[in-house]
Amino acid sequence: MGKRQKVVIDTNVFISAFGWGGKPYKIMELLEKGRVRNCLSEEILAELIKSLAYPKLQFSPTVQANIIEFVLAYSDIYAIKEHLNITPDPDDNKFIECALSAEAKVIITGDKSLLSLQKFRKIKIISPEDFLQSFKD
């Protein structure tokens, strides 16, 4: 296998992983073990920083900083090469744009409108649970 798989992890998966654990947290473990590598764009990183600060999530500034540090340690940042307008929610286009720019084959998300696309070009759009199922080689 050698090469680790490039993925684009949606903001909601990071928030779920660090807020509630479960299957999204298992994806964080795959990042730590070097089995997968996350692909980020500046737009995704900006959304993550903004989302972590939502008062309803109650992440302290220290926890927010630790999450951002973790994400940056296990991610590569890509410049967007192509802007799209294909998702039901325009805010979700950035994940597909990043996957295309990074040549990632998978977007991992809990977002129902993004999941409804299932696939774009050769990029699979799947839930954390489905990703973990498909990852068991």
The contacts of residue 41 (CB under 8 Å, 6+ apart) are: 77, 78, 79, 80, 94, 97, 98, 101
Contact yes or no for 3/9 (Cβ under 8 A): no
Q: Domain residue spans in the chain?
A: 5-135
Q: What are phi and psi of 82, to 5 degrees?
A: -145, 130
Given a cut of 80, whether residue 35 has pLDDT beyond it is yes
Q: What are phi and psi of 89, to 5 degrees?
A: -110, 115
The whole-angstrom separation of Cα 66 and Cα 85 is: 33
**CATH superfamily of the 5-135 domain:** 5'-nuclease (3.40.50.1010)
The whole-angstrom separation of Cα 56 and Cα 10 is: 19
* Confidence band for 15, pLDDT divided at 50, 70 and 90: very high
> What's this model's pTM, rounded to 2 decimal places?
0.95
What's residue 14's pLDDT? 98
Q: What is the pLDDT of residues 58-108, one digit of tens each?
A: 999 999 999 999 999 999 999 999 999 998 888 999 999 999 999 999 999
* Confidence band for 40, pLDDT divided at 50, 70 and 90: very high
Query: In DSSP terms, which residues pair with 5 in a beta bridge?
Result: 36
Dihedral, CA atoms, 118, 119, 124, 130, nearest 10 degrees? 10
Residue with tokens 């927010």, as numbered in its chain: 64
